[in-house]
Amino acid sequence: MKFVLDGKPSIQLNQLLKLLGMVETGGEANLEITSGNVKVNGNTEFQKRKKLFPGDRIEYHGETIEISGK
Protein backbone atom coordinates (compact mmCIF):
# COMPACT_ATOMS: atom_id res chain seq x y z
CA MET A 1 0.00 0.00 0.00
CA LYS A 2 1.25 3.50 -0.76
CA PHE A 3 0.57 6.63 1.23
CA VAL A 4 1.13 9.97 -0.53
CA LEU A 5 2.13 12.92 1.66
CA ASP A 6 0.44 15.28 -0.83
CA GLY A 7 2.61 18.35 -0.34
CA LYS A 8 3.44 17.83 3.33
CA PRO A 9 7.07 17.12 4.26
CA SER A 10 6.23 14.34 6.74
CA ILE A 11 3.55 12.62 8.84
CA GLN A 12 3.73 11.23 12.37
CA LEU A 13 3.56 7.45 12.75
CA ASN A 14 0.57 7.47 15.11
CA GLN A 15 -1.35 9.82 12.79
CA LEU A 16 -0.65 7.57 9.80
CA LEU A 17 -2.07 4.46 11.49
CA LYS A 18 -5.23 6.32 12.47
CA LEU A 19 -5.63 8.08 9.11
CA LEU A 20 -5.42 4.77 7.23
CA GLY A 21 -8.02 3.20 9.55
CA MET A 22 -5.57 0.59 10.85
CA VAL A 23 -6.54 1.60 14.38
CA GLU A 24 -9.72 3.28 15.62
CA THR A 25 -8.21 5.91 17.93
CA GLY A 26 -5.00 7.79 18.50
CA GLY A 27 -4.70 6.08 21.87
CA GLU A 28 -4.87 2.68 20.22
CA ALA A 29 -2.18 3.77 17.73
CA ASN A 30 0.07 4.88 20.58
CA LEU A 31 -0.43 1.58 22.42
CA GLU A 32 0.35 -0.49 19.32
CA ILE A 33 3.55 1.50 18.72
CA THR A 34 4.81 1.43 22.32
CA SER A 35 4.02 -2.31 22.48
CA GLY A 36 6.49 -2.93 19.65
CA ASN A 37 3.93 -3.96 17.03
CA VAL A 38 5.08 -1.50 14.34
CA LYS A 39 8.26 -1.55 12.25
CA VAL A 40 9.73 1.36 10.33
CA ASN A 41 12.33 0.50 7.68
CA GLY A 42 12.67 -3.00 9.14
CA ASN A 43 13.27 -1.88 12.75
CA THR A 44 10.78 -2.02 15.60
CA GLU A 45 9.72 1.56 16.30
CA PHE A 46 8.66 2.77 19.75
CA GLN A 47 8.39 6.53 19.05
CA LYS A 48 4.70 7.41 18.75
CA ARG A 49 5.39 10.65 16.92
CA LYS A 50 8.19 9.34 14.71
CA LYS A 51 8.23 11.51 11.59
CA LEU A 52 7.87 9.56 8.38
CA PHE A 53 9.29 10.82 5.10
CA PRO A 54 9.13 9.69 1.44
CA GLY A 55 10.89 6.35 1.06
CA ASP A 56 10.02 5.09 4.56
CA ARG A 57 8.38 1.66 4.84
CA ILE A 58 6.04 0.82 7.71
CA GLU A 59 5.01 -2.73 8.63
CA TYR A 60 1.98 -3.35 10.82
CA HIS A 61 -0.02 -6.59 11.21
CA GLY A 62 1.11 -8.02 7.87
CA GLU A 63 0.52 -4.79 5.93
CA THR A 64 3.34 -2.76 4.39
CA ILE A 65 2.88 0.96 3.77
CA GLU A 66 5.30 2.91 1.59
CA ILE A 67 5.49 6.67 2.07
CA SER A 68 5.61 8.65 -1.15
CA GLY A 69 6.08 12.37 -1.76
CA LYS A 70 3.84 12.51 -4.84
pLDDT given for residue 4 in this prediction: 96
pTM of the model: 0.94
Closest CA to 33 of 20, 44, 21, 18: 44
pLDDT given for residue 41 in this prediction: 98
Cα–Cα distance between 33 and 35 in angstroms, integer? Answer: 5
pLDDT given for residue 70 in this prediction: 74
Per DSSP, 31 falls in state H
- In 1-70, beta strands by DSSP E: 2-4, 11-12, 38-40, 43-44, 51-52, 57-60, 63-68
Query: What range does the domain containing 50 cover?
Result: 2-68
pLDDT tens digits, 5-61: 988 999 999 999 999 999 999 999 999 999 999 999 999 999 999 999 999 999 999
Number of domains in the chain: 1
- Assign residue 28 the CATH number of its domain: 3.10.290.10
Cα–Cα distance between 49 and 40 in angstroms, integer? Answer: 12
